[in-house]
């Protein structure tokens, strides 16, 4: 990659970091993307797709294949802790704590590389996806006809990965990231004075027992080799310190790597909540909202992604999957594809994903753009 393009990508990435668009509010990011694409001479640009999504199409006569490349655009509701960064977020309470600013910039870079390369033929669809962070952006794009309006045989995406050596590309043989849901368990009891507990049906005690009991779903209901996690992350209840409340709500997430594990966790959560509720004389209701499917590479596309990676950077094939979730899984349910990790450098000291001091490593932008362009060219040539 020419040094000037690397500098341009860094400038774009830092602009996006300074001007983040929260999930479902990515309109300024989308406008920036469309403007940069027009400056490159891209004529086919669909805006407002699946919310604030942008799909740009590059065409070259002489080929009958089509491939998709995806980059996500949204930021997180986190107050940035990088107070000394010149490109720190200018939006209070919003920051790119997961590196989607880098993903967006890298996909723009891939567009530039492909436009400058006369060797390929066919169609490349650049999918700038909104609302990856729990907003259902990929699912909405599919529902609105992404693959009907922009037919493609395969699709490829990636995520930066702290803890993996900067610029190294990891391609998994099977599952890459977990399926996940957000759950809510409501315990409804009867309020009373805290000094007169015999007049109450205490939802707080029920909630406490439920938090502990939920941990047995993984420990005693799943095959130890299948992978799963249940985390209660929020407890809501109570108004004053001398009252036993009427209602307590538990919220959290569950993750799994096999469909059978997901089914066991969902059924087990209903069973545990109902049993705990019955034990303490309170009503229990569970809401289970699945957000993503298991992100699992398709075999041919996995091999193609690995071959493209080896052509541009060091390649790893030995990393285990992560229990984090990825909206890209909804695309992989529709058409074949693969999802890679690109090392962001050392983790720790605030450089982990979703940390308020995280910052994307601009040095890996040329690798990311290069891999995206390379995997697209190999797909159009009929690789794997």
Report the chain's mean pLDDT, rounded to a whole number.
97
Please give the pLDDT value at position 1.
Answer: 60
Contact 85, 351 (CB under 8 A): no
Calculate the CA dihedral of residues 81, 84, 85, 86 and round it to 10 degrees: 130
For the chain, give every residue range classified as CATH 3.30.70.360: 178-291
Q: Which two tokens stand for residue 21?
A: 């668009």
Residue in 130, 177, 127, 133 with CA at minimum distance from that of residue 335: 127
Q: Any idea which fold 3-174+297-380 has? A: Aminopeptidase (3.40.630)
3 pLDDT more than 70 = no
For the chain, give every residue range classified as CATH 3.40.630.10: 3-174+297-380
Residue in 56, 230, 29, 32 with CA at minimum distance from that of residue 130: 29
In this structure, CATH architecture of domain 178-291: 2-Layer Sandwich (3.30)
Question: 273 phi and psi, to 5 degrees?
Answer: -60, -45
Distance of CA 21 to the CA centre of its chain: 15
Q: Do β-strands 122-129 and 66-72 pair in parallel, antiparallel, or remain unpaired?
A: parallel
Contact 171, 317 (CB under 8 A): yes
| pLDDT greater at residue 155 or residue 384 | 155
Percent of the chain with pLDDT over 70: 99
| pLDDT tens figures, 342-365 | 999 999 889 999 999 999 999 999
- Nearest-angstrom CA–CA distance, 342 and 170: 6
| pLDDT tens figures, 306-347 | 999 999 999 999 999 999 999 999 999 999 999 999 999 999
Please give the pLDDT value at position 382.
Answer: 87
- Nearest-angstrom CA–CA distance, 210 and 203: 10
Please give the pLDDT value at position 225.
Answer: 87
| pLDDT tens figures, 224-261 | 988 899 999 999 999 999 999 999 999 999 999 999 99
Question: 338 phi and psi, to 5 degrees?
Answer: -150, 155
């Amino acid at each position: 990659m020419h040094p000037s393009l690397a500098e341009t990508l860094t400038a774009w990435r830092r602009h996006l970091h300074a001007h983040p668009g929260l999930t479902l509010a990515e309109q300024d990011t989308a406008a920036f993307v469309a403007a940069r694409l027009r400056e490159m001479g891209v004529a086919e640009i669909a805006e407002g797709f699946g919310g604030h999504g942008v799909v740009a199409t590059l065409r070259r006569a002489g080929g009958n294949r089509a491939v998709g490349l995806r980059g996500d655009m949204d930021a997180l509701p986190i107050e940035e802790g990088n107070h000394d960064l010149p490109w720190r977020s200018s939006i209070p309470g919003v920051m790119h704590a997961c590196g989607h600013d880098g993903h967006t910039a890298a996909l723009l870079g891939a567009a530039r590389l492909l436009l400058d390369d006369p060797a390929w033929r066919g169609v490349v669809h650049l999918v700038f996806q909104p609302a990856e962070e729990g907003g259902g952006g990929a699912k909405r794009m599919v529902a609105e006809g992404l693959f009907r309006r922009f037919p493609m045989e395969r699709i490829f995406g990636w995520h930066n990965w702290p803890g993996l050596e900067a610029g190294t590309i990891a391609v998994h043989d099977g599952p890459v990231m977990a399926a996940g849901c957000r759950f809510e368990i409501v315990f409804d009891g009867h309020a009373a004075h805290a000094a007169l507990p015999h007049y109450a049906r205490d939802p707080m005690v029920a909630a406490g027992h439920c938090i502990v009991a939920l941990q047995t779903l993984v420990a005693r209901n799943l095959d130890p080799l299948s992978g799963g996690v249940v985390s209660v992350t929020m407890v809501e209840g109570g108004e004053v310190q001398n009252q036993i409340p009427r209602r307590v709500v538990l919220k959290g997430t569950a993750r799994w790597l096999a469909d059978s594990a997901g089914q066991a966790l969902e059924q087990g959560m209903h069973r545990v909540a109902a049993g705990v509720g019955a034990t303490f004389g309170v009503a229990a209701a569970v809401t289970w909202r699945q957000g993503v499917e298991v992100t699992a590479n398709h075999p041919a596309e996995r091999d193609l992604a690995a071959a493209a990676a080896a052509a541009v950077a060091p390649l790893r094939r030995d990393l285990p999957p992560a229990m984090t979730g990825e909206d890209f899984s909804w695309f992989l349910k529709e058409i074949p594809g693969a999802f890679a990790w690109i090392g962001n450098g050392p983790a720790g000291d605030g450089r982990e994903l979703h940390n308020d001091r995280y910052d994307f490593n601009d040095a890996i932008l040329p690798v990311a753009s290069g891999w995206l362009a390379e995997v697209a060219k190999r797909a159009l040539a009929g690789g794997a």
